[in-house]
Amino acid sequence: MSHSVLRLSGAALSYGARTVWSGLDLDIVAGEFVAVLGANGSGKTSLIRAVLGQQPLSAGRVEVAGTAARRGSSQIGYVPQQRRIDPLTPMRAKDVVGLGLDGHRWGIGRPDPHRRARIAEALDAVGAGHYADVPIGLLSGGEQQRVRIAQAIVAGPPLLLCDEPLLSLDLNSQRTVTTLVDRRRREHDTAVLFVTHEINPVLPYVDRVLYLANGTFRIGTVDEVLNTETLSALFGVPVDVVRTAGRIIVAGVPDAADCVHHETDVDSDDVVPVRA
Amino acid sequence: MTVLASGSDVSWSQIFNFTDYGSLLSLVQNSIIAGALLGVVGGLLSTFVMMRDLPFAVHGISELSFAGASGFLLAGWSVVAGSIVGSLVAALIIGALGVRARDRNSIIGVLMPFGLGLGVLFLSLYRGRAANKFGLLIGQIVAVDDSKLTTLASVSAVVVVGLALLWRPLTFASVDPELAAARGVPVRILSPVFMILLGLGVAMSVQIVGALLVLSIVCTPAAAAMRVTSSPALVPLLSVAFAVTSMVGGILLAVGASVPITPYVTTISFLIYLVCRGLGVLRARRATGAVAAA
């Protein structure tokens, strides 16, 4: 645990008169796993976009590996939520991983053994080496997510940004994804910012939690944030937090009525009935 | 001469006729070069047309290209220029208004009949040679003179160089726009730029295969290639090979015949697709087996 990989200082974001969050100070150091929780419209997606340099802040700063967040930063590996890929897409698993290395560069590129080796290494790291040559559209949702993780880590970024990567995956695949992300940060000291609706799949790995709600937030360890007292104060209504058999169940979280709708937030709403 | 059916005056020699083939070939030399160029451009473009799900857009652009060409023909200006103007207007409208697939399809559905109607109006008013008229709709091979060939070659060069420059980011943006944007690919700029290149390619195709059949060159080749391979390098190469085969093969067969070039090109293109589709079924079976075994 050492230097800061992602630093938000005095960060604020407003759309018109509505403040999504403000006064956000967060320092994620190398090897740290931080989960971001919050209801729809609490600004999880906006936070991701700010870190990616796609959303300017209203106030404060975002720094990734010491420099201000900007579009296309090579310091970030981005794992999005699972989406269906057309079966006829002319890409094999290894080609998709290759996009993470040089998909943003102009021109057509040329054959490069060093490039091939890095791609193979990334695929092996996520246990997807044996389907390197299989068309991406023929892989299952869970297999595709492995490939996306390989794509995110192939350039060796110090920060992994995971934006609801577990959505629409079965439990087994969810476990695979979380294990892989955790293993990467342990073996390569990668910092992880993991946006999720559901804390339980990442519970064994999380160092700290950032809970966004009502234009404000709480940061701390799971025990510090996910308890009846803190969440009731955060939401301004009584919220029950129950721990049972290694799981956390949060009941009574009000739906954000005046939320800013983000596409990812809206369709994720139907998937997970109990929010943590 | 064999008569196809009794009571009909259609004969095979109208469809396949190789008398004086050598001397005819020298007459259509420019057309063959133009056809080959178009094959290269169409084959490359069709790769992205398939990946970006744009076949309907291609059809819409070609109808407006037809309107532009016939308008310019009526005015006595360059048909190629008119075709390019029509294409670019359509490509920019579709690119600007139709970001989401559903919007895009409805805009194309609205534009297409309007373009076709305009074109028909211009052609009805035109008093020149009838071959000029229908060539724009259903294709022609005799009409490629040196200056037209130069124009077609320049347009091809622009499209090919443009695509080569954009290749990797455009591929990324076509496969997964959101991820590409996160990696800093200017997704929103790439889309209209590609539409412009597509418009140029479609305008070229209208000159040779005609507005109604552009898809046989700017969609079918990659659709066929994607059935037999998933290699992002092999798909465009095969696609170009298929498109060039269809174009040049079509011209060579059509030279002596008295019907337009179009049925030859579209039939070759379609047969290639059928064969690839058949091979694709076998390949999918193998690949699924490989995944299951993995």
In a domain, A275, yes or no: no
Q: Does A141 touch chain B (CB under 8 A)?
A: no
Residue B282 belongs to some domain of the structure: yes
Cβ within 8 Å, pair A90-B231: yes
Average pLDDT (A41-51) is 90
Residues of chain B neighbouring A96 (CB-CB closer than 8 A): 175
Pair A117, A241 in one domain: no
Q: What angle do CA B205, B32, B161 make, to 5 degrees?
A: 55
| A207 in contact with B, Cβ within 8 Å | no
Q: Please give the angle made by the CA atoms of A247, A79 and A74, to the nearest 5 degrees.
A: 135
Q: What range defines the domain where residue B166 resides?
A: 21-288
Interface of A with B in 159-198 (CB under 8 A): 161
Same domain, A164 and A27: yes
Q: In this structure, what CATH number is given to the domain that contains residue A200?
A: 3.40.50.300
Work out how many domains chain A is built from and give that number.
Answer: 2
Residue predicted with more confidence, A276 or A170? A170
Encode pLDDT of A134-170 as tens digits. Answer: 999 989 999 999 999 999 999 999 999 999 999 889 9
Select from A71, A84, A104 the residue whose CB has the most chain B CBs within 10 Å, as the one to mutate to test that interface.
A104
d(CA A5, CA A158): 7
Picking from B152, B284, B155, the residue whose alpha carbon sits closest to that of residue B226 is B284
Of B182, B184, B291, the CB nearest to A131: B291
Same domain, A256 and A163: yes
Check residue A253 and give its pLDDT. 80
Tokens standing for A127?
Answer: 């246990």
Which of A120, A138, A156 marks a domain boundary?
A: A156
Residues A67 and A168 in one domain: yes
* DSSP 8-class letter at B259: S
The overall average pLDDT reported for chain A is 87
**Helix (H) and strand (E) counts for chain B?**
14, 0
- Which of B44, B99, B163, B183 has the highest number of chain A CBs within 10 A, making it the mutation to test binding with A? B183
Tell me if A82 is assigned to some domain. no
Count of alpha carbons within 13 angstroms of residue B222, beta-carbon side: 27
Contact B18, B256 (CB under 8 A): yes
User: Is residue B135 domain-resident?
Assistant: yes
* B14 is a domain residue: no
Same domain, A213 and A111: no
Cα(A208)–Cα(A206) distance, rounded to whole angstroms? 6
Query: How far apart, in Å, are the Cα atoms of B287 and each of A142, A145, B84, B292?
Result: 17, 19, 42, 9
Parent domain of A233:
4-75+157-268
Please tell me the predicted confidence (pLDDT) of residue B8. 61
Query: Can you give the pLDDT at residue B94?
Result: 87
User: Are residues A171 and A249 both part of a single domain?
Assistant: yes
Nearest to A134 among B171, B229, B291 (CB): B291
Residues A70 and A174 placed together within one structural domain of the fold: yes
Residue B238 lies in a domain: yes
Is residue B169 in some structural domain?
yes
Tens-place pLDDT, residues A4-34: 999 999 999 988 888 888 999 999 999 999 9
**Among the three residues A156, A176, A200, which one is the final residue of a domain in this structure?**
A156
The answer to whether the Cβ–Cβ distance between B167 and A109 falls below 8 Å is yes
Q: Last residue of some domain: A156, A183, A212?
A: A156
* CA end-to-end span of chain B: 60
- Whether residue B132 lies inside any domain: the answer is yes
Q: Are residues A195 and A111 in the same domain?
A: no
CA angle (B174, B180, B184) in 5-degree steps: 135
Quote the minimal CA–CA distance from A25 to chain B in Å.
23
A84 lies in a domain? no
Closest listed residue to residue B121, CA positions, set B202, B183, B194, B67: B67
Same domain (yes/no): A261, A181:
yes
Q: Is the pLDDT of residue A261 over 50?
A: no
Is position A243 within any domain?
yes
Q: What is the pTM of this model?
A: 0.88
Beta bridge partners of A35: A194, A209
DSSP string, B51-69: HTT-HHHHHHHHHHHHHHH
In chain A, residues with a C-beta closer than 8 Å to the C-beta of B179 are: 78, 80, 99, 148, 151
Q: Is the residue at B10 inside a domain?
A: no
> Does the residue A273 lie in any domain?
no
Q: How far apart are CA A47 and CA B127, in angstroms?
A: 64
3-class secondary structure, B11: strand
CA distance B8 to A275: 76
Q: For residues A8 and A38, state if they share a domain.
A: yes
Q: Is residue B26 in some structural domain?
A: yes
Domain CATH for B236: 1.10.3470.10
CB under 8 Å, gap of 24 or more: what pairs does B161-164 form?
A: B162/B193, B162/B197, B163/B44, B163/B45, B163/B48, B163/B197, B164/A107, B164/A108
Per-residue model confidence as pLDDT tens digits over A169-194:
999 999 999 999 999 999 999 999 99
pLDDT of residue A273: 39
| Tens digits of pLDDT across chain B (294 residues) | 444 555 567 777 777 777 777 777 777 888 899 999 999 999 999 999 999 999 999 999 999 999 999 999 999 898 889 999 999 999 988 888 866 777 888 888 998 999 999 999 998 898 877 666 777 887 776 667 888 899 999 999 999 999 999 999 999 999 999 899 999 999 989 999 999 999 999 999 888 888 888 899 999 999 999 999 999 999 999 999 999 999 999 988 888 777 778 889 999 999 999 999 999 888 877 766 655 554
**Residue found under tokens 């109990």:** A274
What angle is formed at CA A160 by the lines to CA A159 and CA A162, rounded to 5 degrees? 145
Q: In angstroms, rounded to a whole number, what is the distance separating the alpha carbons of residues A34 and B144? A: 65
DSSP labels, chain A:
--SEEEEEEEEEEEETTEEEEEEEEEEEETT-EEEEEE-TTSSHHHHHHHHTTSS--SEEEEEETTEE--TT-TTEEEE-------TT-S-BHHHHHHHHHHTTSSS-----HHHHHHHHHHHHHTT-GGGTTSBGGGS-HHHHHHHHHHHHHTT--SEEEEESTTTT--HHHHHHHHHHHHHHHHHH--EEEEE-S-SGGGTTT-SEEEEEETTEEEEE-HHHHSSHHHHHHHHTS--EEEEETTEEEEE-PPP-TTPPP-HHHHHHTTT-SS--
State how many domains chain B has.
1
A106, pLDDT greater than 50: yes
Interface ipTM above 0.85: yes
| Burial annotation B228-242 (CB, 10 A radius, 16+ → b, else e) | bbbbbeebbebbbbb
pLDDT band for position A86 (50/70/90)?
Answer: confident
Residue A38: is it exposed, middle or buried by C-beta count within 10 angstroms (0-12/13-18/19+)? buried
* The pLDDT value given to residue B2: 47
| 8 Å CB contact of B175 and A107 | no
- A36 with A193: CB under 8 angstroms? yes
Map residue B3 onto helix, strand or coil: strand
With CA atoms as reference, report the closest residue to A88 among B229, B173, B169. B229
Residue contact B184–A73, C-beta within 8 A? yes
